Chains A and B, each alone.
Chain A
Amino acid sequence: MLEIKNLHAEVEGNKILRGINLTINPGEIHAIMGPNGSGKSTLSYVLAGKEDYEITEGEILFNGENVLEMEIDERAAAGLFLAMQYPIEIPGVANMTFLKTALNAQRVARGEGELKTPDFMKKVKELSAKLNVTQEMLRRPLNVGFSGGEKKRNEILQMALLEPKLCILDETDSGLDIDALRIVSEGVNALKSPERSMLVITHYQRLLNYIVPDVVHVMYKGQIVKTGDKSLALELEEKGYAEFTGEVAA
């Protein structure tokens, strides 16, 4: 599904990613853990195509296609979804309008044709009920005035609606209390399927109690320094990052 080979990226001359290698097969759930500043979020932005980063070396293949040559929206239509750490507020664009525009844009790009409004409404209603996204949240401008938990639930709603092939969850657990974390995780778990892969980026092990990974990677200074199974996350929790980075925690 996803193949990252020797990926190097920098922003304004600062090297952030220094040779990332990562392969994710269909149906697998991978977790990337690492201290702040290790380049986790950069990796997610580079995958989604944010323009602030310069790729100096390496390649990214998504189902055999060269991702680096694709536009941001082409990547999304191809099935790459990034649930963002800080979902952005867009005043003036109603959440519902946004969802419909995004879904239909992707469908049209894939040659599937637009979804009729009643069908779309039905789908949104079903999914939003499961994720505890209220009608009012759908009517309001996108993410404007949403609490941290509401924003994250809204991200998962988009994910459920757009049915991507690869879901990248960037620090989805940050700022969530236990109840919100449960709702979000249930939403994510409901999307698990043999065809869909997930890349969960997180600072803490907590989220991985809910979304159980097949593979865990530790990232440090722009490289993956260790890979293991889910027990690696527990080990990290116990010993801290210093064990893996060779540095003493402050």
Chain B
Amino acid sequence: MAAVKETVDQVKQIDVDQYKYGFVTDIESEKAPLGLNEDVIRFISAKKHEPEWMLEWRLDAYRRWLTMEEPTWAKLDYPKPKFNEIYYYSAPKVAEGPKSLDEVDPELLKTYAKLGIPLQEQEILAGVTEENRQYSKVAVDAVFDSVSVATTFKEELKKAGVIFCSISEAIREHPELVKKYLASVVPVSDNFYATLNSAVFTDGSFVYVPEGVRCPMELSTYFRINEQNTGQFERTLIIADKGSYVSYLEGCTAPQRDENQLHAAVVELIALEDAEIKYSTVQNWYPGDSEGKGGIYNFVTKRGDCREKNAKISWTQVETGSAITWKYPSCILRGDNSTGEFYSIAISNGYQQIDSGTKMIHLGKNTSSRIISKGISAGRSNNTYRGLVSAHKKAANARNFTQCDSLLIGDQCGAHTVPYVESKSASAIFEHEATTSKISDDQMFYCQARGIGEEEAVALIVNGFVKDVIQQLPMEFAVEAQKLINISLEGSVG
């Protein structure tokens, strides 16, 4: 009950359409010329000190992108982004790449402190004593607009053999790994937004966990869009070599602005034999105001490849932000006995539109997957689960269980479920269940009859509704996520 109490207190403090992370950091920045052409791509590549092959790769992607059209199949209604009115590169003006945290602009450190993201290793260490261990250690890569401003605990990770750095650095320092794995899960011309990302991606994280290593701490990246009219195109690549394990967290926020901003990311995960990757996201981009003005367009391609046998990839997402969300974290279950999981909470309020879900592609024998999706729609929002489960001919004994539940709060919103279940393997067993309902009057009455207020009762019931997914999140994130869920639903009752 403590969490509920906290939730209610928090909800009370906040005005209806107040977005906690809506402030702007006043910092001088350096931008690419407005719009997109080959020169802008050359500019980005030069800024990143990239080798020639990378520039060619980008230009190739750009040329392909010019021939592509925006997808329209999702249940989303929005004016098309004007791709020539966006800055594709924006970076805080600092002396070339800070060598250590001491060199990071204090304004930036303040920003992250305000966002609750610890970048000071000392602080984190100081706060932890063996007797009173509140937070476990988390290594953070902080991406501010187009560049990574800091990555913590690099040294400690290095001792374990784990590479955790910005993708820009990886391209320079570990080209053999990047060349081998980049675009090996999401091909350059996979889809309109992935191709755009391939041409203009600016930063993001790179993780390589060597054979047999269990990554000693949680890794995380914190994405922040600050600058006006700026798109963020991050690229993340995580490789878990044979028998390794890594848990990775991602969080995102942006200032409150009247115009829509574009975020088009690509995340690729590769799990080799017996390896496991756990990827958690709390997405809290600015959702727009109560009139539906502003907010982030979030077009994300996330895909994991269980490339060898016994590999496991698990996606957990809490989606509360963004005006438009188009996102389907997927698993390719190529290796025999590999496992894919997708746990999702998607909450839409105001005028938000979410079209999200997953794909579980069963290619190998004895592969199994599990999908738990909880959608909550309130206000005038629309929330769609779209998912594909498929078994190819050779996927003998493939198993999938899918549970999609939607909750509607109010009669101005929509909740939709669009599953595709395709089986070409007789021995595959797929089960799919979905329900749509509102918070039952009986449940509300019961809570209220026990003296629980209306708003608190909703919070209580919603917390119960999403519990299966919250449990999948790492501890620190779970608490954050729970608070976030309740704030997102603020003002939805009555």
A–B contact via C-beta, under 8 angstroms: no
Residues of A within 8 A of B (CB): none
Residues of B within 8 A of A (CB): none
